[in-house]
Structure 1
Amino acid sequence: MNSMWNRLLKKQKEKTMYYEESELPTKDVKISQSLDENIKNIKEVLGDSGDLIIRQFKMGKPTQHKVAAIHINGLADKELISVSIIERLMENVKNTDNVDPETPKELFAYIKENIITVATIEDITEWKKLLSSLISGQTMILADGVNKAIGCSVQGGELRSIAEPLTEPSVRGPKESFVEALITNTSMVRRRIKSPNLWVETMKLGKVTQTDVALLYVNGLVNEKLLAEVRERLGKIEADEIMGTNTIEEWIGDNIWTPWPTFLVTERPDVVAGNLMEGRVAIFVDGTPMPLVLPATWNQFFQTAEDYYLNWTVASFLRLLRIIAFLFTLLGPSLFIAFIAYHPEMIPTPLLISLQAQRQGVPFPVFIEALLMEFTFEVLREAGVRMPRPVGQAVSIVGALVLGDAAVAAGIVSSAMVIVVAGTAIASFTVPHYTMMDATRLLRFGMMTLAASFGLYGIGLGVIVLVAHTCSLRSFGIPYLAPFAPLIISDWKDSLLRFPKPLLSNRPRLVSQKKIMRAGDTQDLRPTPRKNHTLDQEPKRDSNES
């Protein structure tokens, strides 16, 4: 299946290749020595955009050297540019010997070594690198007669402040979530893992968007084969735009034809930190407040950060409650259909009489009745999400109450069906991660169809196929149903139940194979030399790797 998908991608790439890299205006050439020509080229490439700010002035006495500071409005910190660059450049330039820099190169070196007070600067000699840094928020300093630029890291602008998590709330845990700024997100993880072994690899993906992507892992805990596999798959992404983590998820996933999520998506820094300490890898994308954590297993999607802030007995109870609610969400309506349509003898007689009395006058079969109600509730749920927040909740609640009561009064559906569908909708909200919740909602319709066609036999067949499919899934070489298949008893301490933390002494065996014990000598995590990995020279994939 994956090979067929790769062939389709290759064909699609050949059809949609509308330009070659050599035809781009940002081709790899050197910066000109003429300041006017460089400014002209920048304006031409950027379409003389209104947000392109160019500040030109002359420096030096008696020799007047033309200098320009260029940045994109909104991507850079205006105050920092004014204080640390513009104001400093416009002062009288004199060195310690009271001799003015005579040549442009001497002036350029003096600016770099004595004037600019920005913490991070770099020399840029290539035209493509200049444009890439400029649109990434850096300020470029160019001088007439010098064929290179100084890139000053003064990124800033208006950004969303850190707020409480919306999709993963917590009572006792921290009240902060990731934002759209990549630097802010990585720093939030570093505040929790104060170790030099927390390594961050940055790269740019997307031929047109040039999106910043960061790869986070704990050196000494992460499996080197897993890390090499992640780098290799990221290097094979050939897309013009990378707008978020979902694009990366579909490009590098093991199986895109499955409804189950194979990446853990979270907005909580403590969740990312906890997974990194287990030997996993996190992928951050600039502009996206929800990074990817991999490899992910089925069991992770029923765990929350709150589980580790509560007493272990309460956390274990809540985990079992979520699993039961998940099963009811998946099988509740289909079991109701099967019992009513095919196996009424399995229902207690008083309850059966009551159900049949409610269905008197209902014009539709039980399957059509369930389908109408499920579809109506899904429409109400989607409407509540898409509408403005103050109105959305009111529409969902009032719409469900009014429509349900009106449908029962009109004899379109039975009261029992409304109870089953409403209970299913409520149970679906107990699943902590919305990606798993969405998959369950989708699979519920397939189970309802099987129940309407074959009764309990159809449900049994659907469960067998679903379990077999789930067992076949892998997330970067890790079995999706671990630690249940394959059976790893030692990892059950933090799966369906959560044992007390002193007993959680081992990391997941299939994820971290370098330092299984959580406690012990910290010298086991001493840094190892990092190899230079680029997207042009990716490590070869191990043929023996899963």
Structure 2
Amino acid sequence: MSNFLEVIGKKAELHRDLKIERLQLGAEYMWLVYYDSVVNSQETIMFIWNSGITSNVSYDDICMRLAGKPWSPEAMSELQLGRVVLLHATGEQAFSFQGVPASLSRSIEKPENESMPFAPAVAFMEPLTTNIGLIRKTLNSPYLIAEGFTFTGGATKEASLIYHSEFVNKELLQQVKSHLQNASHRDLQTGQDLMEILGCSRFDLLSPFYKTEIPMQATSSLMKGRVILLIDGEPVAYVLPLLFGDFISIQWDKQLPLIIMFALRSLRLMSLLVSLLTPGLYVALVSVNPETLRIELALSVASSRIGIPLPTFLEMAFLLIVSEISIESTQRLPKSIAASITVIGGIVLGTAIVDAKLVSSLVIIVLSISVTATFAFPNYLNTLNLRIMRAVIVVLSSIFGVFGLFAGFIAICFYVCRIEHFGIPFMNFFDFKKLRQT
């Protein structure tokens, strides 16, 4: 290969979906270059033959029949928009024309678990090439790289590592590629498998990645220097690494004025504290340290607990378990049924429990505030870690009171501050030099 072919051949080493095929048209051999994530190759070849190709047709005639225009490697980004390049057998001439778009295995649907107002109603799908194509259409850049990886464990699994070569954190990229290359013989079927491949333990509370099903959210992470892992058969993108900012910020926030954006993120940060500390604080003040309450508030709490047979900790633990069961049941049911279960579990069951004098009305109020604050975060999966930490703090508060509450909170702060994935601290969000990019 020479000239244009050499340039494209080098790029094909970094783009797993960039294909170069030899094609005989008439009496001449040519090279067909395209991204199979955005172009249907079979239908494109049929389109070429149906354009009137004969045995004595020339290269210039083919260009005219396909409404092509001269092409050079400087216009490589055109291929991401669905154009196809035909190179002369010598590799010294080329023209491009519009290819037939790749068909999808199912229609593109709205995100099911994430919501962004006024964002494109597009979500990732199961085919790997389709997801790569969605990212290419969302972020049309010649610096967008999609490297391919194959895992040959119990079953062969294809994956693609996507990054922006101009913005990516070089140390992050090197470490992630090293982990993926060294694990090519391993099985990749679950998130726990991926955690081990990336050098983490299955027992880590915080994974080194977070999942998103919105291409716009994934591309915004690319522009901030992070990398994305797409796995064939999974309708999500794995964004590496997970940072604290992912709990309280989304790309859509930047559609709003700066003051409103910071107000929303501050509200989510406050919701995090409310969700994490409110149940434990109630248990600590009522059951262990009631002397810290004002006399009026202490009397109000005491009057609400008249006739309640359970201690405060068991009240809170019982309702926490019921709320978690309700949340999990609504996640697994169709939306039409899930809405009914939410009403039954939240209103009917809560009212019946209070009327039966099993728990006090104050516990219902505190738990409702905490659960509602939990879902103020952009990504539902990020709330799972928070719910586990909340249960730990409730247990410590029931044993040690306010001291246990603050000891548990400080321990969590120390834990998250020591987390580091691929050389990037989890609390990198508080690097004020990078705050404007978050």
Corresponding position of 2:164: 218
Q: Is the contact made by 2:149 and 2:181 (CA closer than 8 Å) also made in structure 1?
A: no
Return the TM-score normalized by structure 2: 0.74
Q: Is the contact made by 1:261 and 1:435 (CA closer than 8 Å) also made in structure 2?
A: no
> What's the secondary structure of 1:464's corresponding residue?
helix
- The CA deviation at 1:250 is 4.1
Corresponding position of 1:275: 221
* Cα deviation code 1:330-354 (max 9, x no counterpart): 1110000000012222223222211
Q: Is the contact made by 2:104 and 2:130 (CA closer than 8 Å) also made in structure 1?
A: no
* Alpha-carbon distance change, 255 to 470 in structure 1, aligned in 2, over 3 angstroms: farther
Question: Distance between the aligned counterparts of 1:205 and 1:352, measured in 2?
Answer: 61
Q: Is the contact made by 2:224 and 2:437 (CA closer than 8 Å) also made in structure 1?
A: no
**Do residues 454 (structure 1) and 400 (structure 2) align?**
yes
Corresponding position of 1:490: 433
Corresponding position of 1:175: 121
* Number of residues of Structure 1 aligned to a counterpart in Structure 2: 355
Letter in structure 2 aligned against 1:449 = V
Letter in structure 2 aligned against 1:459 = L
- The CA deviation at 1:302 is 1.1
**RMSD (CA atoms):** 2.9
Question: Distance between the aligned counterparts of 1:278 and 1:492, measured in 2?
Answer: 11
Q: Is the contact made by 1:471 and 1:481 (CA closer than 8 Å) also made in structure 2?
A: yes
Corresponding position of 1:242: 188
Question: Distance between the aligned counterparts of 2:169 and 2:102, measured in 1?
Answer: 35
Letter in structure 2 aligned against 1:201 = E
**Do residues 325 (structure 1) and 302 (structure 2) align?**
no
* Alpha-carbon distance change, 310 to 245 in structure 1, aligned in 2, over 3 angstroms: farther
The structure 1 residue matched to 2:419, chosen from 457, 467, 473, is: 473
Matches within 5 A, 1:355-366: 355-366=301-312
Question: Distance between the aligned counterparts of 1:78 and 1:294, measured in 2?
Answer: 30
Corresponding position of 1:286: 232
- The CA deviation at 1:274 is 1.3
- The CA deviation at 1:239 is 6.2
> What's the secondary structure of 1:432's corresponding residue?
coil
Please, which runs of 5 or more residues in structure 1 have no aligned partner? 1-76, 89-93, 97-153, 496-546
Q: Is the contact made by 1:209 and 1:240 (CA closer than 8 Å) also made in structure 2?
A: no
Corresponding position of 2:241: 295
Matches within 5 A, 1:378-393: 378-393=324-339
* Alpha-carbon distance change, 414 to 470 in structure 1, aligned in 2, over 3 angstroms: same
Question: Distance between the aligned counterparts of 1:360 and 1:481, measured in 2?
Answer: 45
Matches within 5 A, 1:110-125: none
Please, which runs of 5 or more residues in structure 2 have no aligned partner? 1-38, 57-99
> What's the secondary structure of 1:489's corresponding residue?
coil
Question: Distance between the aligned counterparts of 2:191 and 2:143, measured in 1?
Answer: 25
The structure 1 residue matched to 2:387, chosen from 421, 434, 441, is: 441
Query: Comparing both structures, which one devotes a greater share of its residues to helix?
Result: 2
Corresponding position of 2:78: none
Question: Distance between the aligned counterparts of 1:175 and 1:232, measured in 2?
Answer: 35
- The CA deviation at 1:236 is 2.7
Letter in structure 2 aligned against 1:357 = S
**Do residues 229 (structure 1) and 175 (structure 2) align?**
yes
* Alpha-carbon distance change, 389 to 328 in structure 1, aligned in 2, over 3 angstroms: same
* Cα deviation code 1:372-405 (max 9, x no counterpart): 0010111111111112221012112212211111
Question: Distance between the aligned counterparts of 1:449 and 1:238, measured in 2?
Answer: 43
* Alpha-carbon distance change, 286 to 187 in structure 1, aligned in 2, over 3 angstroms: same
> What's the secondary structure of 1:453's corresponding residue?
helix
* Cα deviation code 1:192-244 (max 9, x no counterpart): 32221111101211334221101111113223332221111112326664235
Corresponding position of 2:16: none
Greater CA drift, 319-328 or 199-208: 199-208
* Alpha-carbon distance change, 243 to 205 in structure 1, aligned in 2, over 3 angstroms: same
**Do residues 206 (structure 1) and 152 (structure 2) align?**
yes
Q: Is the contact made by 1:173 and 1:305 (CA closer than 8 Å) also made in structure 2?
A: no
